[in-house]
Amino acid sequence: MMHLAETLNFSGRKVVAAWASVPFPALRGYSLPDTLCAYQQDVPWKLLSSCREQKVGCCFAQSVVLRGICKERKQPTSPLHACESTEQILQHYLRTAFPGAFSTSRVLEQPCNTLPPYPQFFSPLLTRQGFVLDKAPSYSSAAVESIPVLAALQSSSVLHTLLYSLYKDVQKVNTGRWASFFSAGVEQDDFQEALEELRTLSQCYEMGSEADESEDEADSD
């Protein structure tokens, strides 16, 4: 994980955000292009990292893995449908959703198994294979045995909010009131240096107006 994060970061960045879709929202009987075409204005995964900003921001680099979805042969109705493989479909979608970003992707045919002791917290709209039904069945469905999953690590502008909020919170700490705070041998100067490094790191994820606002706040500090 650490080495992958290092691969995705450049220009002073060191942190990545985690995203996932568990299960991946694929309707039963629909192809992967059908599913992705329904997410033209958004992405079919959610932010797991504790950022206040939950929407997808500017992406610098990312690594995406999709499991349990195969390409179904249908008459091409969009550029996604015209792709020859599942890998090409996902890559095309990532290039369209995140233009200019460095994106790596991998597709695995095997879904994630959800047999006991995996908790059965799934919606009744899911089939045994984890695909979404149009409506809940009239009968009690069996336990979900497997699910398609998408997971991503992303170097993204959403991390600016997380890192800068952390910087502001730590900055408010009155270390003079905590005598034991530096008992481990950390010096006050080292603490201040680490705090400034955190601020500098947050600025590596800024975009446009965010950078201007951050400079204004810096002047007020």
- Do both 88 and 155 map to the same domain? yes
- Do both 79 and 174 map to the same domain? no
Q: Give me 58's structure tokens.
A: 């500017």
Give the pLDDT confidence score for residue 163 in this predicted structure: 94
- Do both 24 and 89 map to the same domain? yes
Domain of 116?
1-159
* 214 found inside a domain: no
- Do both 97 and 60 map to the same domain? yes
* 213 found inside a domain: no
- Do both 152 and 185 map to the same domain? no
- Do both 24 and 131 map to the same domain? yes
* 141 found inside a domain: yes
- Do both 175 and 117 map to the same domain? no
Per-residue tens of pLDDT for the chain, all 221 residues: 889 999 999 889 999 999 999 999 998 888 888 888 888 778 889 999 887 666 667 899 999 999 998 766 666 678 888 888 899 999 999 999 999 999 999 999 999 999 889 998 898 889 999 999 888 777 766 789 999 999 999 999 999 999 999 999 999 988 777 777 777 677 888 888 999 999 999 999 988 655 545 555 555 55
- Do both 22 and 90 map to the same domain? yes
- What's this model's pTM, rounded to 2 decimal places? 0.81
- Do both 146 and 84 map to the same domain? yes
Question: Which of 143, 138, 117 lies closest to 128 in space, CA to CA?
Answer: 143
* 33 found inside a domain: yes
* 221 found inside a domain: no
As for how many domains the chain has, the answer is 2
* 210 found inside a domain: no
- Do both 85 and 126 map to the same domain? yes
Give the pLDDT confidence score for residue 140 in this predicted structure: 65
